[in-house]
Every structure is written in structure tokens, then in C-alpha cells.
Amino acid sequence: MAFIMTRINVGDFDAWKQSFDKDLPRARETATGYRLFRNLEDPGEVFVQVEFATSADAQTARDRLRSSGVLKRFADTSGPSVVEEVESVRR
């Protein structure tokens, strides 16, 4: 399992979410799921976690996302980075 992690300051979350749902870059085409997080103090700051069955699928999706240029619309972006989970604890 592998993930793409991206942090974006989208400004208007509702407008961004409509575009995100369309997935024009097809970055989530082979994803097994995703999670969206919003900063409570700055609701325009969004963290996106997309899950893939393999690191190859995640890398392909990251490359599609990068080459699409959709992230270039935002001045404040970190990622997309392909990562793997090394530990998870729930209580």
C-alpha cells in the first residue's frame, strides 16, 4: 500500500472541491480511497491523502497530477509526495 500526500491552500474550499471531484488529471483513477482534511484555523488549507494498492500505482497517479498542471493554480502547495505507512496506532 502507498499514498499520495498533498497540502494545498485552496482559498475557497467549496469551489476547489467541485474541481477535485471531477478528477480531470485521473489521479484517483486506480485509487482504493482518499481522505480530505481541513485546517480548523484556516479552512482553505487542505490536506489530501489518496490510497493505492501499490507504489507503482501511486507514482503513476502522482506523475499524472504533476503533468496536468492543476496544482500550478495554487501558490501555496506541498507535494504531491508518494509515501508509505510505517506505523499506525489507534486508541
Summarize pLDDT for 16-42 with one digit per residue, the tens.
999 999 999 999 999 999 999 999 999
Task: State residue 6's pLDDT score.
Answer: 97
Which domains does the chain show, CATH number per domain?
2-83 (3.30.70.100)
> Quick check: 36 and 45 in contact, CB under 8 A?
no
Q: What is the DSSP string of 45-63?
A: EEEEEEEESSHHHHHHHHH
For the chain, report the end-to-end CA distance as a whole number of angstroms: 22
CA 91 remoteness from chain centre: 26
28 grid coordinates: 484517483
Q: What is the pLDDT of residue 22?
A: 95
What global pTM score does this model have? 0.92
Cell numbers representing residue 35 in the block: 481522505
Local structure of 38: helix, strand or coil: strand
